[in-house]
Structure formats: structure tokens, C-alpha cells
Chains A and B, each alone.
Chain A
């Protein structure tokens, strides 16, 4: 009985800040997860609420931002950046995976994946291989999906099914890219 609770709480933690595992799309569709998910337990570095940084932040560790960053966020190709629910970033973000739960004003390049949670508010272009958008996320910008493996019909069916139940599915690599 106790082990069950531990198992339940684990995926949310992994999802918010894990760099090694690509978080599953269904796990972020849980509306309760916003309140329940621990914010940055696994993050190696944390810019917590109340901290303000102006300039360029670079590194090779996972980063959790729940404060204010203005300038540039440039992490190596192995890193995951999570913008927490209180986070406000006025900067271009470059990382392997970017998870947004707060506000971002700038371009986001997530080499492998970008996740937008329901509380995300983004004004800027997105560029990635895989994109996950939870209902309620606000996006104002272009979506550029980098070319990769071709899509089958299964993807469409999965997307439609996800929409029917109000959940999310990820947009995998496809032939689409940004407007312009």
C-alpha cells in the first residue's frame, strides 16, 4: 500500500525535471499534476522564485527556472530546461528538452522535445522534433517541426483520439515547419 503511493508520485517528478527520460505525454495531461507535482527535485540547478537574472545562462546541467531570466538560456544538447509555473523568461532558450509551465517571451529550441503545460504562456517561435501541448496552453508564434521520420496514419488517429478525450498527444517529427 505504501509502495503504491511512492510509485504514483514518482512519474510527476520525473516529468517536470528529468533530463534522461523523455516524459510521457499522457502524464502531463493529468489536471491535478499542476498542483501536485514537485517542482524541481531532480533539477541540478534551480533559479527559484524571487531570483532575477539578466544576461546569458549557459551550462551542461539540467535547469529549473521559477524566477525571472532576461537574456539568453543556452544549455548543452544533453540538458533539459523546465520553466516553472512562476517562471518568467524573456530570452531565447536552447536545450535538448524544454518544458514550459510558466511564461516565456522568446524563441524556444528544444532539439528533441518541447512540452507546453496548461499554464504555459508563450510568445515566440518553437522549433523542435516533438511538440506536446496541453489544453489551456497559450501560444503565440510559429511552430517549426524539424524533419525526421515520416508519419503514418497512426499519428493522426492518436491525435484525434487525444482530442476527443481532452488529453494531449505529441506531434512527432514531420515535414511541417514554421510559417514564413
Chain B
């Protein structure tokens, strides 16, 4: 067998060549077909896992909005019944826009445009900055100073850094002075994709869902401060689940 391997036609010849690969690449599973999920059955519908977490950030967020009366809130996550009813019942006037879904749809459109531009031998500016500008031309279109509070969730982790910066700048324009942004940041690159909805004043329901976009970046404290440099106060709560909840007051 070793003789055949030397000739490069042995059974383990392929594996021998793989030995020169980087360790990370070599240690990857060789085929997805052998994964347990595939063994269970490909047609099985994915189940959404749900759990709850205590959210001091949400509690503080509500405390900051206490006494506001009929405040205006922008929820940038999916339109959950419980979240909307929670804030509407407290007198908020709520707007909802699932901005990450919009980003995903925008990327699909951009790809299609790029293909058609390539076919027509036209030039399309695909730099992240211009892409971010194009994205914000059709999203987050509200009058300036429209909102007292914004629920940003952990969405910034999933945008390209340039887009994240422009989104924060745009949100800052929408927020009234004294307004509050509730955001979350993963301390480690998240393995899955989660959505959040409000259960009560200090509890969030965490719902594992199929990923819309891969996580782009893990922000460090300094980078977060730089993103929200125009805000006067920042307060963070770090949870055991590697999730940092932050409040930013303009």
C-alpha cells in the first residue's frame, strides 16, 4: 500500500495530499452528507428554537422612556405581535421596519444589477460606501427627529461595517435629542442567527431563526463608542450569553 501511495494511486493518496493543507481546512468535515441532520432527513422542516433572557438593557430603556407620554418608537426588527402590542399598550406610536431583511433583499437586487451591468458592459460602483448610500436611499426614509426611541437589536453585527456606520448616522438624524437607542452586540462571532421579541419589561424572547445574513464583525468597546460618537451617554450590560446590551442616549 505504501508503494502505491508513493506512486500517488493508493487508497490514502488523497488524504496524504490533504496533509499539507492548513489545519483548519483539514479538520473540516469532508462531506456534508455525513452530518447528523442530513441523516435525519433533508425534508424535515427546521424548528425555531425559543428561549428567554433577562434583559437589563430593556429595563433601562423603558426607564429612560418613562414619563414620555405618547412617544414614538421605531422597531427595526421583524414585526412581532408581542413587541408591537407591548409598546402600543404603553402609549407609544410605533413604526416597524425589518431593516436586515431589507438589506438582504437589497443585496439580491444589487447582484442582479451587477449581472445585467456586466452583460451590458456598464460600470456599477460596487464600493461598500456607495452601496450603503444606495441602500439608505430606499430605506429608513423618515423625517428628521421623528422618534424618541429606536430598537436596533443586534443588527449592526450583520451589516458591512461601512453600512453599519451610515445606518447609525441615519438613525441619529431620526432621533430626537434625549432619544434612546437600544442595541445589542455579540462579544463573539455568533454561531446562529437570532431574533428578539419583548415578553415583558425586562424579559426578551430569543428566537433562533434561519440566518438572513452572516455576521460581519464583532465590535469592541472602542469601536462601538466610535460608532455612536454623537451620543452623549452610553451604558452597557454584558450577559453570560456573550451578548452585550447597550443604550445610547442622544
Contacts and interface: CB of A to CB of B under 8 A. Distances in A.
Contacts of A176: 70, 87-94
B109 interface: no
A169 to B, nearest CB: 6
Contacts of B78: 138
Nearest to B205: A163
Interface string B67-85: 0001011100011111011
B115 interface: no
B81 A168 contact: yes
Interface in B79-115: 79-82, 84-98, 101-102
A115 B242 CA distance: 37
A145 interface: yes
B50 interface: yes
Q: How large is the interface on A (under 10, 10 to 19, 20 to 34, 35 or more residues)?
A: 35 or more
Interface of A: 116, 131-135, 137-145, 151, 155-156, 159-160, 162-164, 166, 168-171, 174-180
A174 B102 contact: no
A174 B89 contact: yes
A117 to B, nearest CB: 12
Contacts of A138: 78-79, 98, 101
Given A179-B72, A180-B93, A180-B143, A143 B84 contact: yes
B107 to A, nearest CB: 16
B129 interface: no
B18 interface: no
Contact of A174 (B88, B97, B146): B88
Contact of A175 (B70, B82, B95, B147): B70
B210 to A, nearest CB: 11
10 contacts: A139-B98, A143-B84, A143-B94, A155-B85, A156-B85, A159-B89, A163-B197, A174-B88, A176-B89, A178-B94
A142 B207 CA distance: 24
Interface of B: 48, 50, 52, 70, 72-74, 78-82, 84-98, 101-102, 142-143, 146-147, 197, 199-200, 205, 207
A76 B226 CA distance: 54
Given A176-B94, A180-B143, A139 B79 contact: yes
Contacts of B73: 179
Contacts of B72: 179-180
A142 B95 contact: yes
A36 to B, nearest CB: 16
Given A175-B70, A179-B73, A133 B81 contact: yes
Contacts of B101: 138
Which of B86, B89, B92, B143 has the most chain A CB atoms closer than 10 A to its own CB? B89
Given A166-B48, A179-B146, A159 B81 contact: yes
Given A141-B95, A141-B96, A160 B199 contact: yes
A151 B81 CA distance: 16
Given A138-B101, A163-B82, A179 B199 contact: no
B79 A164 contact: no
Contacts of B97: 140-141
B106 to A, nearest CB: 13
Nearest to A31: B45
Contacts of A174: 88-89, 91
Contacts of A132: 81
Contacts of B86: 156, 159-160
Nearest to B148: A179
Contacts of B91: 174-176
Which of B81, B91, B96 has the most chain A CB atoms closer than 10 A to its own CB? B81
Which of A141, A162, A179 has the most chain B CB atoms closer than 10 A to its own CB? A179
Which of B70, B94, B102 has the most chain A CB atoms closer than 10 A to its own CB? B94
A116 to B, nearest CB: 8
